[in-house]
Amino acid sequence: MIKKIGDNIVSPLGFTTEENWRNLLAGHSGQQPYEQGFSLPEPFCASVINNALLEKQFLALPNPHNIRYTKMEKCALLSATDAIHRAGIDATSHEVLFILSTTKGNVELLRDLQGYEPERPYLWRSAQLIAQYFGNPNEPIVVSNACISGCAAQVVAQRQLEQGRYRYAVVIGADVLSQFIISGFQSFKALSPEPCRPFDAERTGLNLGEAAATLVFARADQPEPTDLWLLNGALCNDANHISAPSRTAEGLVKAIQQILPDTATPDLAFVNAHGTATRYNDDMESVALQRCGLDQLSVNSLKGYFGHTLGAAGVVESIISCQEINNGTILPTRGFTTPGTVAPIQVATTQEKTDKPLFIKMISGFGGSNAALLFAKNDAAILKNFKTE
Domain harbouring 252, CATH code: 3.40.47.10
| pTM attached to this predicted model | 0.96
CA 14 from centroid of its chain's CA atoms: 16
What DSSP string runs through 17-86? HHHHHHHHHTT---EEEESSGGG-SS-EEEE---HHHHHHHHHTS--TT-----HHHHHHHHHHHHHHHH
Each residue's pLDDT tens digit in the chain (389 positions)?
899 999 999 999 999 999 999 999 999 999 999 988 888 888 999 999 999 999 999 999 999 889 999 999 999 999 999 999 999 999 999 999 999 999 999 999 999 999 999 999 999 999 999 999 999 999 999 999 999 999 999 999 999 999 999 999 999 999 999 999 999 999 888 999 999 999 999 999 999 999 999 999 999 876 665 679 999 999 999 988 887 788 899 999 999 999 997 766 889 999 999 999 999 999 999 999 999 999 999 999 999 999 999 999 999 999 999 999 999 999 999 999 999 999 999 999 999 999 999 999 999 998 899 999 999 997 666 777 665 44
Do 275 and 155 share a domain, yes or no? no
Do 169 and 237 belong together in one domain?
no
What is the domain range of residue 124?
2-219
- One domain for residues 274 and 244: yes
Provide the number of structural domains found in the chain. Answer: 2
Q: Which of 219, 254, 287 is the last residue of a domain?
A: 219
**Domain stop point among 194, 219, 244:** 219
Strands 298-300 and 268-272: parallel
151 with 82, same domain: the answer is: yes
Whether residues 48 and 113 fall in one domain: yes
- 311 and 362 in a common domain: yes
Q: Is residue 213 domain-shared with residue 241, that is, in the same domain?
A: no
Query: Is the domain of 135 the same as that of 194?
Result: yes
Which of 162, 185, 219 terminates a domain? The answer is 219
Residues 196 and 267 in one domain: no
